[in-house]
Chain A
């Protein structure tokens, strides 16, 4: 069953994220893929995340397909203009890639080549619209395609950045433009997330797009502090940091917190899946995925 079939059938889905290597070694992806293969429905492939050059997301997604895993190709607007993006999308469709996650992308100054020129020809909402138009058989130029792709369009949402209502408006725009599934930023503050989810349900957006809650297991309090200070758009509940600081076995504690988080998230009304973002701690994904797909109240 594909991700789209599962979501259409109202089943609970579990996704995980894999970061391609900063080299041309495709085996790294194959190894990472083997680890999660039997535990998740689809695997996200990041597109030069945090503006650092990595093996391209299309190539990585193709490697995943060869390994028999369904990829979710992430696509950011930072590195390509509308021509390149449409052409890459056509290429991806020809390779058999079905799922696209449309993102604006981190600004190039966040990464390790801050002197680069950022493109930002389209933004995430416009990219979603572009993919939707292509699904309908048209390119942005207005010319009709002989064969239309059938992308399953995803988008990201950040429930944690202020102003709260503006975030909901942005989500509304993404869903209106054609996003069918939404992956949220990692949840480190369940209260805020629950409040956001309530609003999303109130607006009826959970019916039009499947909301997948992001979970990021963290190994130490230091990482958490670093995330809080350095990574844009992250909000962390103070109790969580305290708990990690006090823990004698931070790795075990981090795992325990992630498991607890998944248990709570699964039962929040409107959450249709879990999206695991392990960062460098990819070994933990199978255990978390197992927990996420257990005893799901349908």
Chain B
């Protein structure tokens, strides 16, 4: 549960962090549909989840929490809801192209990641967001295997980054 997930699915495309895209032969991964009973349970859990995540991270209840790979800053506060890094519109001083009074959330994520030695997690490619999970409990979704488990502890960040980049170089040869 604590290991860094290095394979990500992008539709049928499996992308290894730092590797070339590999096509998945199988059809779409089967996700368990949310039953009405589970929805009720989700609402109860979400009450407690929100009590923690909203004040601490300004959680936007996307239901597919990627906080652990964004150094515990919620990327969903981005006006474009970017999940894979900053857009090209960040201004020279690092402010958001939409809200001039705000820092780009991805800039904050980068500096926090650097501080916490979690830069290697920024290389993770996140699959398209499942909007059906919006406003459901991310904790429950992890338990029900609808979304990947968080990486709470991470060691050897520098080595991981090197591996991701060197992997690439090795692949070329």
CA distance A62 to B83 in the complex (A): 32
Instruction: Kindly list chain B residues whose C-beta atoms are within 8 Å of the C-beta of A170.
Output: 84-86
A161 to B82 CA separation, bound complex (whole angstroms): 16
Is A130 an interface residue when CB atoms closer than 8 A count as contact? Answer: yes
The answer to whether the Cβ of A185 comes within 8 Å of any Cβ in the partner chain is yes
Chain A residue with minimal CB distance to B168? A204
Contact with A along B71-109 (1 / 0, CB 8 A): 000000001111111111111101001100000001100
Partner of B88, one of A142, A158, A173: A158
B23 at the interface (CB under 8 A from A): yes
**Would you list which residues of chain B between 32 and 81 have a CB under 8 Å from chain A?**
79-81
| In contact, B91 and A233 (Cβ under 8 angstroms) | yes
Which of chain B's residues has its CB closest to A103's CB?
Answer: B88
User: Which of A126, A139, A156 is in CB contact (< 8 Å) with B128?
Assistant: A126
B164 neighbours in A (Cβ, 8 Å): 172
Residues in B neighbouring A82, C-beta threshold 8 A: 128
Q: Which of B19, B85, B89 is within 8 Å of A232, CB to CB?
A: B89
Q: Which of A126, A158, A169, A185 contacts B10 (CB 8 A)?
A: A126
Given A82-B128, A204-B169, A141–B97 Cβ distance below 8 Å?
Answer: no
**Bound-complex Cα distance A160 to B111 (A):** 17
**A5 interfacial contact with B, CB 8 Å:** no
Q: Is the CB of B97 within 8 A of A124?
A: no
Per the bound structure, the CA–CA distance linking A232 and B86 in Å amounts to: 12
Stretch at the interface among B119-127, B140-148, B149-157: B119-127
Q: Name the CB-closest residue of B to A104.
A: B87
Q: Nearest Cβ in chain B — how far from A239, in angstroms?
A: 16
The reply on B138 being an interface residue by CB < 8 A is no
Distance between A178 CB and nearest chain B CB, rounded to angstroms: 5
The distance in angstroms between the C-alpha atoms of A207 and B20, with both chains bound, is: 12
Are A177 and B11 also in contact (CB < 8 A) when A124-B84, A203-B168 are?
no
Distance to closest chain B CB from A78 (angstroms):
8
Known: A122-B128, A166-B122. A232 touches B27 (CB 8 A): no
Stretch from A15-23, A106-114, A257-265, A272-280 forming part of the interface with B: A106-114
Given A104-B88, A142-B12, A208-B172: A173 touches B123 (CB 8 Å cut-off): yes
8 Å CB interface, A198-240 against B: 203-205, 207-208, 232-235
Residue of B11, B26, B82, B127 contacting most chain A CB atoms (<10 Å)? B11
Whether the Cβ atoms of B23 and A232 lie closer than 8 Å is no
CB-CB under 8 A for A204 and B172, given A109-B98, A169-B123 = yes
A140 within 8 A of B: yes
Interface string of A177-191 (1 = CB under 8 A from B): 110000001000000
- Most-contacted residue by chain A among B12, B106, B119, B128 (CB, 10 A): B12
B131, closest chain A residue (CB): A121
- Given contacts A129-B13, A161-B88, 20 further A-B pairs with CB under 8 A are A106-B97, A107-B97, A121-B129, A122-B128, A124-B87, A126-B126, A129-B15, A130-B11, A136-B13, A140-B11, A142-B26, A144-B27, A166-B86, A166-B107, A169-B122, A173-B84, A173-B123, A203-B165, A203-B168, A233-B91
Question: 9 closest pairs, A vs B, by CB?
Answer: A142-B28, A232-B89, A129-B10, A232-B97, A125-B84, A170-B85, A140-B11, A142-B27, A138-B12
Q: Which residues from chain B sit less than 8 Å from chain A, CB to CB?
A: 10-13, 15-21, 23-24, 26-28, 79-92, 94, 97-98, 106-107, 110-111, 119, 122-123, 125-129, 131, 164-165, 168-169, 172
Chain A positions near chain B (C-beta within 8 angstroms): 82, 103-104, 106-107, 109-110, 118, 120-126, 129-130, 132-133, 136-144, 156-158, 160-163, 165-167, 169-170, 172-173, 176-178, 185, 203-205, 207-208, 232-235
A and B contact pairs by CB, cutoff 8 A, 13 listed:
A106-B89, A110-B89, A118-B80, A123-B87, A124-B84, A132-B10, A133-B23, A136-B12, A140-B128, A162-B90, A170-B86, A173-B85, A177-B21
